[in-house]
Every structure is written in structure tokens, then in C-alpha cells.
Amino acid sequence: MRKKTKILPTTEKQNSRSANIDRLSTSQIVKLINSEDKLVAPAVGKEREKIAAAVDMIVERFKKGGRLFYIGAGTSGRLGVLDASECPPTFGVSPLLVQGIIAGGKRALVKAVEGAEDKINDGITAIKKHKITKNDVVVGIAACGLTPFVRAGLKQAAKTGAGTIFVTCARQNSRNAPAQIIINPIVGAEIVTGSTRMKAGSATKLVLNTITTTAMIKMGKVYGNLMVDLKATNNKLRNRSVRIVRQLTALSETKAAGLLKKANGKVKAAIVMHFRNVDLSGALKILDKCEQSLRKAVRK
């Protein structure tokens, strides 16, 4: 009886276009990598309907007081933690709203933790530790689609009734993924065989950026294309806050800065104070009544 041939996941296949990459000049290598990178955005684009469905699931649960969790190992885990960590300064949300879970814990962010991705019990424990509920959403990230830590975490999350989403770049291992929504951008074999920090990593980052940015837009964190809920934690962001207030109110730089000071640095509140002629307390009440939508609050 013939032995069944094991099919390699897409992420482990050898790329024929880079088979002789070690013989190329520096310029030729860079050109080849760039040409492969051009395949990433179209691959993510093919998954846009699934990404939109994932966003709708997340927003629905956010409105019920739920949270978003990313769970992954290695590069996938780091990308989840990165995306989560950028939400508070960009959109002014609590660090608890979007959180990243990485196999091996915080030390795995800067150094590989051997075997962490294979520990099924750790994936289950991580979900229990964060007290995931039916109002939360858990996004599993695994470039190869097989990571035991991630799959176990998703299965545990499903038991709580949480929404589950799986992001993977391997077609073969996406079909039986333990998730309600599967986002599966196929970027093909990597330039360096199996090095998923490259095209698969880039595709994953695009997906995660799109998920959180779109969710925050739907939650009223953006007016036009301006980040009106940003936290001004440094000079660059403080200057940006003043520019946003100036742009939306037509005030001078001095008056915009003064208004922001009265609003305790809250851009959205400052704009409501200007247009509705109220103090900070009044502006915050108006925003609450308008579900934090600046557009509704200023009636524009």
C-alpha cells in the first residue's frame, strides 16, 4: 500500500523564483524581494469581505462592553501585541480594549521562547486567565495555520461563547480552523523558505491594521480621516491635536491650544465645546448622548 504523501502548507513550500537567490547581486536580491512583496496587498484584498465581517463582529461586541484579543506565537504573536499596543495612543481607548497574547509571555516579544507555540495547555490557560466572555472576540493568528497554542486558545474561547476569528496564510490548514470567520490571504511561498516574517507577516499586519482601524472608525474614533480621540503623549501628538482643532474650528493656533487646555487635551471634547458653546463637562455629556460620535455631537 502506497504511503500517503504529506502536503506541505503554502508557507513551507519552496519558492522557485528565489531558488538561486544566494547567487544574485545585492541589487538583484532587493529587486526580487520587492517583486514578491507586491503580491501581498492583492492577496489581502481578496479577503476584504471576510475582514469586513470580522470588523462587524468586533464592533457589535465592543458596543456590549466586550474586548478584542489577539493570540499568536512568534512573529504572529508579536504582530498581535504590536497592533493592540498602538490602539490606545491612536484612538484614545483603554489598553484593556484590545490586547495581545503571545506564546511564551512578554519575554517572547524580544527573544524566541523554544517550544512555546507547541504548548496546548498554555493556550487554554491564557484564555482562562483573561476571563474571556461571550462579549469578547478572540483572533487567532498562525501563518502556517497549525500552531497548537493558537488553536487550543481559539477552541477554549469558543467554549465561552466568544466570537472567534482565524488569520492564516496557509490554504491547506484553514479549512478546519476552529473559528467562525477565517481570513486566509494566500501570499505564496516565501523568498527564504518558511520565513513567514516576510510576506505572511506583511499580510498579517495589513489584516490586523485594517481590522482595528475600521472598528475604531465605526466606534466614532475618527472624524473624516482625523484621529480625534488620540492621546497626546508627546510633542508630535500635541502638535497634531492643535492642528486638528484648528482645522475643524478655524481658530488660530493660540486659541486652539487654549481650547485644548480647557478640554484637558481631549480633542473631541474641545471641538464640541467650540461648536456647542459648552464647558468640558457639558461636552462630555453631549458626546455620551451621541455614542461618542463627534459628527452627531456637532451636528455637521
Write out pLDDT tens, residues 53-109: 999 999 999 999 999 999 999 999 999 999 999 999 999 999 999 999 999 999 999
| pLDDT for position 113 | 87
Axis-axis angle for helices 26-37, 199-218 (nearest 10): 40
Provide mean pLDDT across the span 35-63. 98
Given 183, 218, 253, the domain boundary residue is 218
Judge if 138 and 259 occupy the same domain.
Answer: no
Q: Whole-prediction pTM value?
A: 0.91
| pLDDT for position 6 | 65
For residue 190, being part of any structural domain is answered with yes
Contacts of 241 by beta carbon, 8 Å cutoff, 6+ apart: 230, 232, 260, 265, 267
Write out pLDDT tens, residues 238-255: 999 999 999 999 999 999
Q: Which residue would you say has higher pLDDT here, 111 or 65?
A: 65
Write out pLDDT tens, residues 218-236: 999 999 999 999 988 899 9
Give the integer Cα–Cα distance in Å for 25 and 206: 30
Judge if 189 and 261 occupy the same domain.
Answer: no
Write out pLDDT tens, residues 136-147: 999 999 999 889
Given 185, 218, 251, the domain boundary residue is 218
Judge if 271 and 139 occupy the same domain.
Answer: no
For residue 250, being part of any structural domain is answered with yes
The CA distances from residue 206 to 39, 183, 202, 213, 239, in Å, are: 13, 12, 6, 10, 27
Helix (H, G, I), strand (E, B) or coil at 101: strand
Give yes or no for residue 287 having a pLDDT over 60: yes
Pairing of strands 68-72, 98-102: parallel
Write out pLDDT tens, residues 12-21: 899 999 999 9
For residue 9, being part of any structural domain is answered with no
Judge if 210 and 102 occupy the same domain.
Answer: yes
Give the integer Cα–Cα distance in Å for 293 and 155: 35
Number of folded domains in the chain? 2
Given 218, 253, 283, the domain boundary residue is 218
For residue 76, being part of any structural domain is answered with yes
Domain, as residue range, for 282: 235-298
Judge if 77 and 189 occupy the same domain.
Answer: yes
Which residues are 182's β-sheet partners? 166
Which CATH number covers residue 268? 1.10.8.1080
Catalytic residues: 86, 117
Contacts of 62 by beta carbon, 8 Å cutoff, 6+ apart: 68, 97, 215, 219
